[in-house]
Amino acid sequence: MPKIRLLGQGDVTDCMRLKEAAGWNQTAADWMALLAASPGGCFGVEEDGRVVASATAVADGGVGWVGMVLTDPAYRGRGLATALLGETLAYLDGVVETVKLDATAAGEPLYRKLGFVEEAVIERWVGEVPFSGAGSAGRYGGPLRHSPAVPVDVCAECEGAWGAGRAGSSAFYFGPCYGVSEAAVEGVARAVLGGRGRAMWDLFPEHPAAGVAGRLGFVPARRLLRMVRGRAVPTAGDVYAIAGFEWG
Ligand SMILES: CC(C)(COP(=O)(O)OP(=O)(O)OC[C@H]1O[C@@H](n2cnc3c(N)ncnc32)[C@H](O)[C@@H]1OP(=O)(O)O)[C@@H](O)C(=O)NCCC(=O)NCCS
């Protein structure tokens, strides 16, 4: 039986090793924010004195998000991710009616077996916005839908849009971002992204967000599947960039 236990701040070094093996963009600060946001919902398997598999769960606003499902390549195919998902879902089922996640091709079969179904295609777009001196003025009156625990290094707003970003280990991360018009979102995206080098933006390709990202020179790089288990809760139409695959 795998030795499953709660993850804590002392595990961040092992957790970083896991995500590096998968080539993901999260930083130690991202891990620390997740573990702080959900001290009872982040689980790991310990083998040979270190954490070799992880899964995180954050509940916010009636929806639970599963993320950071990672198994050390040397320990794959032994049921560790399946066992961790079982623990994670047992935790979330006690607090929410809806659980969602963004599945890679590697994770998707595992989630289907656990009762997740497809909600939408979600894509990672990659690009670079040269520093444009763009400013954004005015207040965004609309709702900010992400958990207050999501790390935000920089944000910008104007009448009609709000956007944020944070450092990543291989590229700057743009998101979350909300807006009522493409023009307003383009303004805050330029303000957040200008001069930050290569950046990542996770969006729904059927949404106007793809038009804005395309105009800013972003192109699709990866395709994932947003999946849901339990009561359907569609993503709000004002979401132009999600907060991260680990936050929703
Ligand atoms: C996806 C991942 C977490 C699976 O971890 P794992 O601990 O090996 O998973 P499990 O052993 O519990 O296997 C789960 C399912 O994955 C598939 N799988 C796992 N290892 C496999 C292997 N060596 N060959 C073929 N299929 C395999 C199988 O469908 C398996 O189901 P089964 O019960 O029918 O065998 C791991 O491959 C990984 O870290 N991948 C990179 C990061 C990633 O994409 N994570 C998912 C994010 S959504």
Dist CA 216 CA 151 (whole Å): 24
Q: Is 124 in the pocket of ligand 1 (CB under 6 A)?
A: no
Domain C-terminal end among 32, 62, 96: 96
Q: What distance in angstroms lies between residue 107's CA and the mean position of ligand 1's atoms?
A: 6
Is residue 109 one of the residues assigned to a domain? no
Is residue 219 one of the residues assigned to a domain? yes
Q: What distance in angstroms lies between residue 19's CA and the mean position of ligand 1's atoms?
A: 15
Q: Is 49 in the pocket of ligand 1 (CB under 6 A)?
A: no
Q: Residue 240 is encoded by which pair of tokens? A: 């132009």
User: pTM of the full predicted structure?
Assistant: 0.95
Closest C-alpha to 231, from 91, 99, 45, 92:
99
**Do 163 and 156 touch, CB atoms closer than 8 A?**
yes
Q: Residue 43 is encoded by which pair of tokens? A: 């689980």
pLDDT bracket for residue 227 (50, 70, 90): very high
Whether residue 219 sits in one domain with residue 150? yes
Dist CA 35 CA 168 (whole Å): 17
Is residue 111 one of the residues assigned to a domain? no
Q: How many domains does the chain have?
A: 2
Q: What distance in angstroms lies between residue 59's CA and the mean position of ligand 1's atoms?
A: 24
Chain segment 144-178, per-residue pLDDT in tens: 999 999 999 999 999 999 999 999 999 999 999 99
| Residue 127 scores a pLDDT above 90 | yes
Is residue 247 one of the residues assigned to a domain? no
Whether residue 210 sits in one domain with residue 138? yes
Q: Which residue range is the domain that position 164 belongs to?
A: 122-241
Is residue 105 one of the residues assigned to a domain? no
CATH of the domain at 41: 3.40.630.30
**Do 110 and 86 touch, CB atoms closer than 8 A?**
no
What's the pLDDT at 77?
Answer: 96
